[in-house]
């Protein structure tokens, strides 16, 4: 039970109905007046006739231990807040669900608290932020270490990871610790000094009881001690109750010594009773308050006022009024316990959610997939579950560590399972790296080549080969690609520059061919087969020596071929010779233009034609055999003769196709 010591002699009966605890305390302090000589009736003469009245509240023997525990808990909290006034302000700062916030928001919250709030009023908030941030950060570090171990094959290379976010967190947390240390040093020094001051005041109170001193001087000294006590400041919480009770005890002794008249004492008791009844009425209102935590905090303030600012009441009301107050306190405590039970129920629901999340991650740690794209999907699922876990809210404190450990184990098992897949493909990536290194080396060897006709197809093939090679380890990917690209770009830049020079020669070749084409139109055959054939071959050779023409002007080659076709028709050449000369001229043109694609297509076309003709000849010969093996066949009929004629034509055609293929293969373009 709180001990009630009279600290007020004469109180004015101003109405303060409906005021909160803080307003009530201010009113009591402003309306308190100290005793004067007029309030004492012949104190010196009646010194031995008035029995001293002890105002100490007797403990209620029927009070339950549970009520006492509630009262003691409130008294302990008030003592702690009296020691450090900043603790009272902690209630004004909302406690967020820091476990559900991302790391960036946690750092912002820490910065805001450290910058704008008093150090001891944010103690619980900072520690909750620190716990939530480090849990998330340590989890991140584990993942980064596993990624490092997966990608790094050098056992001598140590894992390092720098997080600017962690640096900011450490910076603000260091500021908080420094501020707290400074605060505690200052607080300890002030508490010690204040305690010495208050103990000295108590000692002076003891000396006031002296019949030899003048009453007026004694009262003045008493008032001075009261004022000094009021301004003495906070003291250590472990000395709080003892020092206050000791002070009140000696104040009451002084009252008894002064032998206050009964009327003044009754007025004092009546006023104190009114104030305590109003506190009881206020507690009854607080029981209806929706914000239970807010109501309980005000209840703590009301207990402080009851003990420290309001004096005793008459004995006939003392136990009754205290029992009412303590009973209401117990009801408020019970409501608060119900709130805590509901919170614990929510925490249990959060625990079930987190267990389900952990179970899902454990399942993902056993689902085997065999493709990178599938693993990306699995990783995305785990990341979503991680976010859901951190957003699920608090769990009961007694299982918090175990739940966190289970979550980390599940994620670690998934990462290990994932890493086993990537370790299997690590060898392939290293093989791909070696292949690409070989291509880079080859490209660098050829990048200065000026034999563009032979080097260009090789460089293009190198690029095609590069595209067919798979992924390489990520740490080498950018470096090797930049080396390869630089070598290729260097070569093709030179090729482009070379072609710009060649274009001048191609334009000149076009002009020459254009002029020569006009001369060729006037060419007339002599009628001598050999002479005319040699002349045509010379024209062809002269035309080839002019060189290539610009691509957009290659139509001039078609005009030249038409003139040749007309000349060949006038010659008495065989169909085969004519065909071969035309083919030879066309192939020479393709060879000069270095058009390997068209040459390859021509080669494929010839091989297919040869195969088709051979199949046709085979079929016709089978048909002949059918007719010649007939018993009644006396001679070859018209159908057989027609088939033999077709066979001869196809064989002649086959010779031409084979000759073309042979000529094409003899070209130096392979």
Model confidence pLDDT, tens digit, residues 275-312: 889 998 988 888 888 887 788 888 888 887 887 777 67
Q: 437: pLDDT confidence band, cut at 50, 70 and 90?
A: very high
| Nearest residue to 480 via CA among 510, 436, 417, 511 | 436
Distance, CA of 505 to CA of 278 (rounded, Å): 113
Asked if pLDDT for residue 326 goes beyond 80, the answer is yes
Of 56-60, 292-296, 563-567, the range with the highest mean pLDDT is 292-296
Determine the pLDDT at residue 150. Answer: 64
Q: What does the pLDDT read at residue 481?
A: 92
Please compute the mean of the pLDDT values over residues 193-220 and round it to a whole number: 80
Residue 211: band (very low, low, confident or very high) from pLDDT cuts 50, 70, 90: low
Q: Does 602 score more than 70 pLDDT?
A: yes
Cβ neighbours of 503 (radius 10 Å) = 12
Alpha carbons 309 and 342: distance in angstroms, whole number: 36
Predicted confidence at residue 72, as pLDDT, reads 64
Rounded Cα–Cα distance for residues 410 and 201 (Å): 64
How many angstroms separate the CA atoms of 299 and 280, rounded? 10
According to the model, what pLDDT value does residue 217 have?
Answer: 79
Q: What is the pLDDT of residue 482?
A: 92
Distances (CA, A) of 285 to 55, 78, 296, 305, 331: 29, 21, 12, 17, 12
Q: What is the pLDDT of residues 143-178, one digit of tens each?
A: 777 777 666 655 566 777 778 888 888 888 898 888
pLDDT at 59 over 50: no
- What rounded mean pLDDT belongs to the chain? 75
Of 1 and 642, more confident: 642
- Which residues lie closer than 8 Å to 29 by C-beta, 6 or more apart? 309
235-240 long-range CB contacts below 8 Å, 24 or more apart? 235/82, 235/83, 235/191, 235/194, 235/195, 235/198, 236/83, 236/191, 236/192, 236/195, 237/76, 237/79, 237/80, 237/82, 237/83, 238/79, 239/195, 240/78, 240/79, 240/82, 240/83
Cβ-Cβ contacts under 8 Å for 137 (sequence gap 6 or more): 103, 163, 165, 166, 169
**pLDDT tens digits along 233-275:** 778 877 777 887 888 788 777 766 665 556 656 777 788 888 8
pLDDT digits (tens, 9 = 90+) for 452-478: 888 889 989 989 999 888 888 878 888
Of 489-503, 557-571, 593-607, 622-636, the least confident: 622-636
Question: Average of pLDDT values for 124-140?
Answer: 84
User: Could you report how far apart the first and last alpha carbons of the chain are, in Å?
Assistant: 110
Regarding predicted confidence, which is higher, 652 or 79? Answer: 652
Query: Is residue 408 within 8 Å of residue 142, measured between CB atoms?
Result: yes
Rounded-to-integer distance, Cα 16 and Cα 38, Å: 27
Exposure letters 42-60 (e unless 16+ CB within 10 A, then b) = ebeeeeeebeebebebeeb
Looking at the chain, the whole-number percentage of residues with pLDDT higher than 70 is 76
- Dihedrals phi, psi of 636, to nearest 5 degrees: -75, 130
Q: Report which of residues 89 and 117 the model is more confident about.
A: 117
Does position 321 have pLDDT exceeding 80, yes or no?
A: yes
Q: CA-to-CA distance for 295 and 299, rounded, in angstroms?
A: 6
């Amino acid at each position: 039970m709180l001990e009630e010591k009279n600290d007020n002699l004469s109180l004015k009966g101003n109405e303060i109905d409906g005021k909160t605890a803080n307003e009530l305390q201010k009113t009591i302090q402003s309306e308190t007046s100290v005793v004067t000589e007029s309030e004492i009736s012949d104190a010196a003469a009646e010194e031995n006739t008035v029995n001293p009245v002890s105002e100490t509240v007797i403990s209620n023997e029927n009070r339950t231990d549970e009520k006492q525990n509630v009262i003691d808990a409130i008294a302990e909290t008030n003592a702690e807040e009296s020691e450090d006034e900043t603790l009272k302000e902690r209630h004004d700062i909302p406690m967020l669900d820091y476990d559900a916030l991302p790391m960036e928001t946690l750092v912002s919250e820490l910065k805001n608290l450290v910058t704008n709030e008093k150090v001891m009023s944010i103690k619980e908030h900072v520690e909750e932020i620190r716990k939530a941030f480090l849990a998330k950060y340590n989890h991140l570090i584990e993942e980064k270490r596993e990624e490092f171990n997966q990608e790094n094959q050098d056992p001598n290379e140590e894992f390092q990871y720098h997080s600017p976010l962690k640096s900011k967190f450490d910076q603000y947390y260091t500021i908080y610790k420094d501020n707290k240390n400074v605060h505690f040093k200052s607080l300890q020094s002030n508490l010690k000094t204040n305690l010495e001051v208050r103990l000295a005041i108590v000692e002076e109170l003891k000396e006031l009881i002296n019949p030899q001193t003048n009453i007026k001087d004694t009262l003045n000294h008493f008032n001075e001690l009261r004022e000094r006590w009021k301004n003495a400041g906070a003291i250590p919480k472990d000395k709080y109750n003892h020092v206050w009770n000791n002070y009140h005890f000696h104040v009451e002794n002084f009252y008894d010594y002064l032998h206050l008249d009964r009327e003044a004492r009754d007025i004092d008791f009546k006023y104190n009773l009114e104030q305590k009844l109003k506190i009881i009425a206020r507690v009854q209102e607080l029981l209806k308050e929706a914000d239970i935590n807010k109501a309980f905090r005000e209840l703590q303030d009301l207990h402080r006022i009851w003990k420290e600012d309001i004096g005793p009441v008459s004995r006939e009301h003392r136990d009754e009024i205290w029992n009412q107050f303590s009973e209401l306190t117990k009801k408020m405590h019970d409501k608060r316990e119900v709130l805590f039970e509901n919170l614990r129920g929510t925490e249990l629901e959060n625990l079930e959610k987190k267990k389900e999340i952990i179970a899902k991650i454990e399942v993902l740690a056993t689902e085997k997939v065999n493709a990178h794209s599938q693993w990306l999907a699995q990783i995305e699922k785990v990341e979503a579950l991680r976010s859901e876990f951190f957003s699920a809210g608090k769990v009961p404190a007694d299982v918090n560590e175990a739940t966190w450990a289970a979550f980390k184990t599940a994620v670690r098992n998934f990462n290990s399972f994932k890493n086993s897949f990537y370790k299997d493909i690590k060898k392939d990536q290293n093989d791909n790296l070696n292949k690409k290194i070989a291509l880079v080396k080859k490209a660098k060897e050829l990048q200065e080549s000026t034999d563009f006709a032979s080097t260009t197809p090789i460089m293009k093939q190198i690029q095609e080969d590069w595209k067919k090679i798979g992924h390489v380890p990520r740490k080498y990917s950018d470096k090797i690609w930049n080396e390869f690209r630089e070598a290729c770009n260097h070569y093709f830049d030179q090729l482009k520059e070379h072609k710009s020079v060649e274009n001048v020669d191609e334009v000149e070749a076009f002009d020459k061919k254009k002029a020569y084409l006009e001369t060729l139109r006037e060419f007339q055959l002599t009628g001598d087969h050999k002479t005319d054939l040699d002349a045509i071959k010379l024209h062809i050779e002269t035309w080839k020596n002019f060189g290539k023409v610009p691509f957009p002007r290659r139509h001039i080659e078609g005009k030249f071929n038409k003139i040749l076709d007309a000349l060949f028709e006038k010659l008495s050449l065989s169909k085969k010779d004519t065909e071969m000369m035309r083919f030879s001229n066309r192939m020479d043109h393709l060879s000069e233009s270095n058009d390997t694609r068209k040459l390859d297509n021509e080669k494929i076309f010839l091989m297919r034609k040869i195969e088709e003709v051979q199949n046709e000849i085979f079929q016709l010969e089978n048909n002949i055999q059918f007719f010649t093996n007939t018993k009644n066949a006396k001679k070859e009929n018209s159908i057989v003769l027609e088939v033999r004629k077709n066979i001869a034509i196809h064989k002649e055609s086959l010779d031409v196709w084979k000759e073309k293929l042979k000529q094409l293969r003899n070209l130096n373009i392979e």
